Amino acid sequence: MEVVASNVNATFKIQGCARDQEGKVVCAVQIQSNARTNQQLTVLHQSVRAISARGFSYPGYLSVEGGQVEASRSVFALPAGNQASGKLIFPQVPREETFFAAIYMGGLEFRGIPVGQAAVPSPAPAQAPSQAQAAQEAEPWKRFAVGPFTFELVGEPYFECCYKVTLIYNVVSSQDARLQMRFNNTRTILEGGFQRTGGEFAVSGGLSDFLAGIPLRVYVHLYVPDVNASKVLYTEFEVFDGKGWQKIVFRNMPFKR
């Protein structure tokens, strides 16, 4: 989830949120400067808040590598064209909160952020945008977002009876919405160049209407040819984002047999 801050000509991206060993919610943040001049940025603690799916508000603060966290604000340098890595820290979020409907920071708004239970790893050293993007997209089937929906893979893709590869997702919506997916004009190609079209999806319980912040299991079935293979070279399907259909593409995805 990324947002462009036009006033400082920089892109702020939340890479994920999880609890640390002390129970605090920590969100990894990457800040990319798009400016031509060096900047000194200030984020007031009072501008940092997380809103849970239940409507509760939790205060937090930003900590950036190489910067300073003061009594009422965080201050850090953002060199022209470079990246800075940091963390949003929310010390007092109850264990039952597993999803943020929104996070606010310095006038920016991020929507639909799940809270994991494993600790968020320390942000990696700043990389060139192309390298960071390649690392994020290496295994896109594990986590992706379309419109208000965030898909988190459970386990590994696997082959099952009647020639299909199944992916099981925990799906959360940031707002009340109906999940729609289609496989009409899609295809799946396995090792050796064997291919088949079509697929289907199912939501646990049979109802595709999501309530904001409540995760549901979604089963994605990709029809595959009758061959002995263990990797999907290419597959595609579409998800409705509330305004239009978005194509999802996975490449080089291994699966269990």
Which of the two residues, 5 and 42, has the higher pLDDT score?
42
Residue 35 is predicted with a pLDDT of 86
How confident is the model over 108-147, as pLDDT tens digits? 899 988 987 654 444 545 444 444 444 445 688 998 888 8
Q: Is 92 exposed, middle or buried (0-12, 13-18, 19+ CB in 10 A)?
A: exposed
- The C-alpha torsion from 194 through 254 and 161 to 208, rounded to 10°, is -110
Distance (Å, rounded) from C-alpha 155 to C-alpha 21? 24
Model confidence, pTM: 0.51
pLDDT tens for each residue of 151-208: 899 999 999 988 999 999 999 887 889 999 999 878 999 999 999 999 999 999 999 9
Q: Which residues of 43-66 are buried (b: 16+ CB within 10 A; e: fewer)?
A: bebebbbbbbbeeeebebbbbbee
Beta-bridge partners for 166:
158, 221
- For 26-35, 78-87, 134-143, 246-255, which range has the lowest pLDDT when averaged over its residues? 134-143
Identify the CA nearest to 248 among candidates 179, 191, 192, 164.
179
179 burial type by CB count under 10 A (0-12 exposed, 13-18 middle, 19+ buried): buried
| Greater pLDDT, 6 or 56 | 56
Q: Two tokens at 235?
A: 């597959």
Over residues 39-85, the pLDDT tens digits come to 888 999 999 999 998 888 999 999 998 888 988 899 998 888 888 99
- Measured CA to CA, the distance from residue 15 to residue 123 in angstroms comes to 9
- Tokens 């702020």 found at: 12
